């Protein structure tokens, strides 16, 4: 079931589109959608590593922002498909726009100014170093007054 079908069949919009536009049928829409990419997060070597599978994009399609404690990764891609056939004298153009956005709450232990990102072979990777743990100065006796 497409996202549009779910939207049309929700409790908030029971069948408004069906009533207003009986000719409108989402089965005729192209099946070009971008799903929210899967993410793996690991902790290793004093840092968190976030890997996001997002094939078919270029690094310029991504936007990565940190606002206080929220990391947001978004991407958008616009495509144009053009078919021309001279013998029948027609031109067909199809435009598609794909986008997604994912947000993550960062732990306080992340050095936000040291986050690095790379995109290779369809995988976006973020390395987020943790704040170094303070060395212990040994045992300290606390006296009670």
Q: Which residue has the higher pLDDT, 114 or 89?
A: 114
Give pLDDT tens digits for 42-86: 998 899 999 999 998 999 999 999 998 899 999 998 877 776 666
Q: Supply φ then ψ for residue 80, to 5 degrees.
A: -130, 125
Q: Look at residue 64 in the predicted model and tell me its pLDDT.
A: 96
Encode pLDDT of 100-140 as tens digits: 999 999 988 899 999 999 999 999 999 999 988 666 666 77
pLDDT at 94: 72
Determine the pLDDT at residue 51. Answer: 95
The model carries a pTM of 0.61
41 or 36: which leads in pLDDT: 41
Instruction: Please identify, in words, the CATH class of the domain defined by 33-129.
Output: mainly beta
Cβ atoms 51, 45 nearer than 8 A: no
Tell whether the model's pLDDT for residue 23 goes beyond 50. no
Q: Which residues pair with 42 in a beta bridge?
A: 49
Return the domain boundaries, the chain: 1-31, 33-129
The model's pLDDT over 46-57, given as tens digits with 9 standing for 90+, comes to 999 999 999 989
């Amino acid at each position: 079931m497409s996202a549009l079908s779910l939207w049309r069949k929700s409790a908030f919009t029971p069948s408004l589109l069906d009533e207003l536009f009986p000719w409108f049928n989402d089965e005729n829409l192209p099946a070009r959608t971008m799903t929210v990419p899967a993410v793996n997060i690991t902790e290793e070597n004093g840092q968190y590593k976030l890997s996001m599978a997002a094939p078919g994009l270029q690094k310029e399609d991504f936007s990565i922002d940190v606002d206080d404690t929220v990391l947001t990764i978004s991407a958008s891609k616009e495509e144009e498909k053009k078919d021309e056939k001279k013998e029948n004298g027609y031109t067909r153009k199809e435009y598609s726009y794909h986008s997604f956005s994912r947000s993550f709450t960062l732990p306080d232990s992340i050095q936000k100014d040291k986050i690095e990102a790379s995109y290779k072979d369809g995988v976006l990777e973020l390395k987020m170093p943790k704040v170094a743990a303070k060395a212990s100065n040994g045992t300290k006796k606390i006296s009670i007054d």
